[in-house]
Amino acid sequence: MNRRVTLSVMGSMRRIFPTAALAACLALLAVPAASLAQDPPAVVKPELPEGTVTKTYRFALDVKPGQNLNLYDYLNKPGERPSENGWIVGFRPNLKRMDGSTPPVDDIHLHHAVWLADSRITFGAGEEKTAILPPTGYGYRYTTSQRWLLNHMIHNLTATPEKVWIEMELDFLPDSAPAASSIKEVQTEWVDSMGGMPYPVFDVKKGEGVAGKLTYPKDTSASLAGRNRKLVTRDGTLVGTAGHLHPGGLYTELYLTRGDRTVKLFRSNAYYYGRAKFTSWNVSMGVPTDKWRIAVKKGDILSVQGTYDTTRAAWYESMAISPAMLTMQPDGGIDPFETAPDPTEVLTHGELPENRDNGGRPNPGLADPRKLKDGPKLREVSIKDFLYRQGDLSLPGRKGRPPVVKAGKELKFVNRDPLREIFHTVTPCKAPCNLSAGISYPLANAQQVDSGELGFGPPAVTAAANRADWSLPVGSKKGTYTYFCRVHPFMRGAYRVK
């Protein structure tokens, strides 16, 4: 098999290692072999019906410094959505700066965007930016009388205000085109492991699961199971699906249950690019070929499971979603209880340049706190203006020295930035934790010790922990310990146990 590993060198230079060097590379990268996906499958694009117009529609958004808020806006203005009736036969999400450039993921991040048409979740996107491409001949109905709502969570990883466009590039077939009369309508069946939650995330703890993998919700408590199920309300044909995961995610699996029988319909693998592999946002998701057709019946249940790697980091904002495209009436397809569904995957895009910077390079702006003198004895550290006010690795002089804490005591952190706008975390990171931020650095290096996002917002809608402060339990082992902010990974701090 033509297995290769791709190594990103200094950001832009890339080298391909042939099979013979694979073992050496794996040792170098400390990546467990079992978790390496195969070569990414081919990128394909369905043929577009004659008369299709490709056009970008966009929504302008002011993003506050450091913002990570889950918000809703209606799309009504010209340019935000098509102005005539027709069919959406292709959908590609993106995020742009006002100058038209695509910001790097480690500066501004398309955490998620979900487009609802008449209250129905129709299109969704995360940083993987999978295109939603119905097979040729199928489309999503669009009318100007629909109410369109955009749910967006744009994460500004910097302390600078930004203005961005949330874009949807549509392949749009207007009703005036002759081909429009023969398009078969599809709708999205939103199959989400945390279905019904406005902010559908779950916690993947480092080291959890079996042999370094956690499948959610299968491997979790029974109280959470069941959210991942979606009732099929009409006979129809599934013609597509795509998985959505966060870093650490290996694959989603879509299942169908009828009575007491359950079959797997599709596994959507995460194909990571570059040296960081599955700790990054540099990923494309596998989708079925345009020949994939599954006949489903009213009363069937669709469900999703998401599998995460737990060997390298903890991720408390993990997702596993596998939206499916369903026709409005039966349109052929296999009976998945008699014939195994085709597992062949294709991609809707290759590696995206904005997802390339892994970080982890020397950063002259950050001290190695292990080499600094003792700071003051402290019980409390304030967080303000994107700085840990004592022991921040970017602060010069006395303020940069790690505060000293007695073994076995607690160190309290208090967020003193605007608590409804700027959330900060205190997340352990292996010392010295002073390299450059990127899509896979720093990594959360603890099982459960984490402040959560200190700040306030509607519960279950935002990621806010709904507290301003948190007390870090200080262990008994002497040494200098480092941490970072998950929301603003350029923020680093240290304390010393004596």
DSSP annotation of 127 reads T
Residue 412 contacts residue 381 (beta carbons within 8 Å): yes
Would you count residue 5 as binding Cu ion (CB under 5 A)? no
Longest dimension (CA), the chain: 78
Residue 36 contacts residue 164 (beta carbons within 8 Å): no
Of 21-29, 445-453, 464-472, 481-489, the segment contacting Cu ion by CB under 5 A is 481-489
- For residue 63, the minimal CB distance to Cu ion (Å) is 15
How many alpha carbons lie under 13 Å from residue 402 in its C-beta half-sphere?
Answer: 26
Q: How far apart are CA 401 and CA 265, in angstroms?
A: 55
Residue type, 50: E
Strands (DSSP E) contained in 341-440 are 345-346, 380-384, 387-388, 404-405, 410-415, 427-429
Q: How far apart are CA 1 and CA 126, in angstroms?
A: 31
Q: How far apart are CA 113 and CA 115, in angstroms?
A: 7
DSSP annotation of 449 reads -
Q: How far apart are CA 473 and CA 469, in angstroms?
A: 13
Q: Pick the closer one to Cu ion by CB: 239 or 487.
A: 487
Residue 149 corresponds to which tokens in the numbers above? 């709502």
Q: Pick the closer one to Cu ion by CB: 296 or 487.
A: 487
Q: Pick the closer one to Cu ion by CB: 92 or 424.
A: 424
Q: How far apart are CA 420 and CA 214, in angstroms?
A: 33
Of 117-125, 175-183, 272-280, 485-493, the segment contacting Cu ion by CB under 5 A is 485-493
Q: How far apart are CA 276 and CA 28, in angstroms?
A: 12
Q: Between 423 and 442, how does the x/- string for binding to Cu ion read (CB under 5 A)?
A: -x------------------
- For residue 158, the minimal CB distance to Cu ion (Å) is 10
Q: Pick the closer one to Cu ion by CB: 172 or 456.
A: 456
The footprint of Cu ion on residues 407-426 (CB under 5 A) is 424
Q: Between 374 and 413, how does the x/- string for binding to Cu ion read (CB under 5 A)?
A: ----------------------------------------
Residues 6 or more apart whose Cβ sits within 8 Å of residue 139? 87, 88, 89, 173, 183, 184, 185, 186
Q: Between 291 and 330, how does the x/- string for binding to Cu ion read (CB under 5 A)?
A: ----------------------------------------
- For residue 110, the minimal CB distance to Cu ion (Å) is 19
Q: Pick the closer one to Cu ion by CB: 146 or 382.
A: 382
Q: Pick the closer one to Cu ion by CB: 320 or 491.
A: 491
The footprint of Cu ion on residues 11-50 (CB under 5 A) is none
Burial of 291 (0-12, 13-18, 19+ CB in 10 A): exposed
Alpha carbon of residue 162 to chain centroid: 21
Q: Pick the closer one to Cu ion by CB: 237 or 427.
A: 427
Kindly determine how many residues on this chain lie close enough to bind Cu ion according to the rule CB under 5 A. 5
- For residue 93, the minimal CB distance to Cu ion (Å) is 26
- For residue 488, the minimal CB distance to Cu ion (Å) is 4
Residue type, 489: P
Of 107-115, 182-190, 204-212, 489-497, the segment contacting Cu ion by CB under 5 A is 489-497
- For residue 437, the minimal CB distance to Cu ion (Å) is 12
Tell me which residue has tokens 């597992």. Answer: 343
Of 69-77, 252-260, 295-303, 477-485, the segment contacting Cu ion by CB under 5 A is 477-485
Residue 425 corresponds to which tokens in the numbers above? 């975390």
Burial of 478 (0-12, 13-18, 19+ CB in 10 A): exposed
- For residue 416, the minimal CB distance to Cu ion (Å) is 12
- For residue 487, the minimal CB distance to Cu ion (Å) is 4
Return the bridge partners of 62, or none. 163
- For residue 278, the minimal CB distance to Cu ion (Å) is 24
Choice from 81, 312, 488, 492 touching Cu ion (CB under 5 A): 488
Residues 6 or more apart whose Cβ sits within 8 Å of residue 24? 17
- For residue 391, the minimal CB distance to Cu ion (Å) is 15
- For residue 415, the minimal CB distance to Cu ion (Å) is 8
Q: Pick the closer one to Cu ion by CB: 305 or 451.
A: 451
Residue 477 corresponds to which tokens in the numbers above? 């082992």
- For residue 434, the minimal CB distance to Cu ion (Å) is 17
Q: Pick the closer one to Cu ion by CB: 125 or 411.
A: 411
Of 325-333, 402-410, 468-476, 480-488, the segment contacting Cu ion by CB under 5 A is 480-488
Would you count residue 492 as binding Cu ion (CB under 5 A)? no
Residue closest to 44 by CA, chosen among 354, 340, 286, 293: 286
End-to-end CA distance of the chain: 54
Choice from 69, 294, 346, 487 touching Cu ion (CB under 5 A): 487
Would you count residue 485 as binding Cu ion (CB under 5 A)? yes
Site residues for Cu ion per CB under 5 A: 424, 485, 487-488, 491
